[in-house]
Structure 1
Amino acid sequence: MGVDYYKVLKVSKDASEEDLKRSYKRLAMKWHPDKNPLDKKAAEANFKQISEAYDVLSDPQKRQIYDLYGEEGLLSSDFSPSAANGTGNPAFRFDPRDAEDIFAEFFGGSDARAGGGSGRTRGGSGGGYGRSVHGNGNGNGNRNRDVGSQGNKKPPAIESKLSCSLEELYKGGRRKMRISRFVPDEFGKPKTVEEILKIDLKPGWKKGTKITFPEKGNQEPGTIPADLIFVVDEKPHPVFKRDGNDLIVNQSISLLEALTGQTLNLTTLDGRNLTIPVVDIVKPGCELIIPNEGMPISKDPSKKGKLKIKFEVVFPSRLTTEQKSDLKRVLG
């Protein structure tokens, strides 16, 4: 039989679905690579095997094949349960799921490794693991009622906010969003289905950009599932403010620095250290523009907008008689 998945999960052969879930959660938390930095290689191997065992035993069809024919029955490319015992799906193929995908379904979390996003994208105004998204039929999406091939009505799309940091929108990144939605079972009663949706964030995306996952919302009996739309929202940044494709930094400098010059040091959104010498006299309201240091332009990420540094000159609250005298002498 090869690997004994029951021993891997530390459960008996008559283990229930709840037994499998309980054991998987305990072992996955114990062996997750992030929790074992001193022996990551061994942890990764154990974590992968635990996830594979749960993937097989939690699926009734896979479990039946495994119990009857072992691991070889699952891995055989031409195996057909219907040919072997007159039951099952002739088109069955064993396709192991990603260990992190399974982990995400149980625990959710923040950003993690992900595959390419499969949703359609639409530009917004001018342009791992996430929280659960529970679809409902009262979303704020487009209110067109599409008609399917069987004449079934399609409810309005469901929209959900996708909060992104300015760093993510600058560099791009990957997100896994765990959703749960309602679909009718074979008797027409609602059942909950959970799924991981993968989104590739493209450099330069703007607030309002929409990523559409067709028919991934709730489904009522006799209807087509609603579309699910994630709408990009931009989190405030402590240093930079975005204006279209440009980035703005407000910089306070003293009167002395405004007159004699200074060197600014900025850390860019992709972690570079930017040194900016200011040699000209800075007048109140002055703006320094640095080309190609703004946000990437989504249609051509090799090009960027501008970085605008807006200066505020801080005047001294008072001067001594001696300082005034020195200034008169120097400035004439």
Structure 2
Amino acid sequence: MSLDYYETLEINRNATDADIKKAYRRLALKFHPSSNTKPGSYEKFIQLGEAYDVLSDLRKKATYDKFGVEGLKGGIPAEFGSGGAWSSKYAYHGNPEKTFKQFFGGDNPFADFYTSDTPLQFGNLQPVVVKTQDSPIERDLHLSLDDLFHGCTKKIKISRRVMNDDGHTSSIKDKILTIDVKSGWKEGTRIIFSKEGDQGPNNIPADIVFIVREKSHPLFVRQHNDLIYKVKISLGMALTGFSVDVQTLDGRLLTIPISDIVHPTYKKELSGEGMPLSQDPSKRGNLIITFDIQFPVSLSTERKHLIKQALDFIQ
């Protein structure tokens, strides 16, 4: 039984070129081996390729319309030609995938059927979707100096959109993210939770990024890995000596004697009493004690005279 190309494409002989393309588009997708594994579907896919190959070409179509499959493949009958059979016999190349890709164009024949909102589906065949990742979601993580000194664990609840099992609808669900704060972390440290943002059918979820923000402390100011401790002293203490008590972040009480003359730029530095180093918490920065010298607001004439005498004696 001869192959009827019009019947194969389910169109009539008056079909236009647009009708032929539309019919092939619909049926080729329906019987493509990736979407239809029923017995006989691949044979149908081959027939569709051959039918389209003939009917989409004006010369082949004209020959087929006038002489049928026999005339197209075997040559024009002798009574219609001056030199016997037509020399240009048609033979389908037999590669329906080649026809399919030539029709749709490129290596992704389903690109024309993809929209940014909804990918169309043909049977079980899914279009190739190039997903892009959403921009990172950044949130501040406020930590005390004690948290950053000792390290701690923070649990943060987030609400995000997740895809349901059907792959098309979504819902809002809560999730607990656990952050293990390491000793010595600094302001600006970034903790990244990969792909924990909102899910969607056509996107890669965003990363959630927490950025360490250091809270102020009543006693210490952090400077890199060092701790700055400021003490108010009188002018008399600055000149005659004194001791400073410092309650450390790890609960120790340090008593530091100051026997030097404390001038306005004087600092007392204690090695290894600062913040732990994040790379090696066994090592620490320094504790730097600075001084705010409280000068008297006013002095009587007598006291000025006494101070002058004392300073003259020192010189």
User: Quick check: TM above 0.5?
Assistant: yes
TM score, norm. by length of structure 1 = 0.53
Please tell me the residue identity of whatever aligns with 1:179: I
Q: Tell me whether 1:181 sits opposite 2:157 in the alignment.
A: no
Q: Tell me whether 1:247 sits opposite 2:227 in the alignment.
A: yes
Q: Which residue of 2 aligns with 1:25?
A: none
147, 168, 176: which one pairs with 1:168? 147
Q: Which residue of 2 aligns with 1:202?
A: 182
Q: Contact conserved, 1:290 with 1:307, CA < 8 A, in 2?
A: yes
Deviation of 1:150 (Å)? 7.2
Please tell me the residue identity of whatever aligns with 2:232: S
Q: Contact conserved, 2:191 with 2:211, CA < 8 A, in 1?
A: yes
Q: Which residue of 1 aligns with 2:77?
A: none
**CA deviation map 1:38-80 (0-9, x unaligned):** xxxxxxxxxxxxxxxxxxxxxxxxxxxxxxxxxxxxxxxxxxx
212, 221, 230: which one pairs with 2:201? 221
- Mapped to 1, the partners of 2:201 and 2:129 lie a distance apart of 13
Q: Tell me whether 1:153 sits opposite 2:132 in the alignment.
A: yes
Q: Contact conserved, 1:285 with 1:312, CA < 8 A, in 2?
A: no
- Mapped to 1, the partners of 2:305 and 2:241 lie a distance apart of 22
Deviation of 1:173 (Å)? 0.7
Deviation of 1:179 (Å)? 1.0
Q: Tell me whether 1:312 sits opposite 2:308 in the alignment.
A: no
Of 152-161 and 181-190, more deviation after overlay is shown by: 181-190
- Mapped to 1, the partners of 2:310 and 2:150 lie a distance apart of 48
**CA deviation map 1:130-187 (0-9, x unaligned):** xxxxxxxxxxxxxxxxxxx974322112111110001111111111111111122225
For structure 1, the 5+ residue unaligned runs are 1-148
Find the residue that maps to 1:170 and give its secondary structure. helix
Q: Contact conserved, 2:129 with 2:202, CA < 8 A, in 1?
A: no
Find the residue that maps to 2:204 and give its secondary structure. coil
- Mapped to 1, the partners of 2:196 and 2:135 lie a distance apart of 12
How many residue pairs match? The answer is 184
Q: Which residue of 1 aligns with 2:258?
A: 278
Please tell me the residue identity of whatever aligns with 1:154: Q
Find the residue that maps to 2:230 and give its secondary structure. strand
Alignment RMSD: 1.8
Q: Which residue of 1 aligns with 2:46?
A: none
Q: Contact conserved, 1:155 with 1:226, CA < 8 A, in 2?
A: yes
Please tell me the residue identity of whatever aligns with 1:212: I
Q: Contact conserved, 2:246 with 2:255, CA < 8 A, in 1?
A: yes
For structure 2, the 5+ residue unaligned runs are 1-127
Q: Which residue of 1 aligns with 2:71?
A: none
Aligned positions of 1:252-271 closer than 5 A: 252-271=232-251
Q: Which residue of 2 aligns with 1:235?
A: 215
Find the residue that maps to 2:134 and give its secondary structure. coil
- Mapped to 2, the partners of 1:263 and 1:168 lie a distance apart of 29
Deviation of 1:191 (Å)? 0.7
Q: Which residue of 2 aligns with 1:323?
A: 303
Q: Which residue of 1 aligns with 2:268?
A: 288
- Mapped to 2, the partners of 1:207 and 1:218 lie a distance apart of 27
Find the residue that maps to 1:204 and give its secondary structure. coil
TM score, norm. by length of structure 2 = 0.55
Please tell me the residue identity of whatever aligns with 1:205: W
Find the residue that maps to 1:231 and give its secondary structure. strand
Q: Contact conserved, 1:286 with 1:311, CA < 8 A, in 2?
A: yes
Q: Contact conserved, 2:183 with 2:281, CA < 8 A, in 1?
A: yes
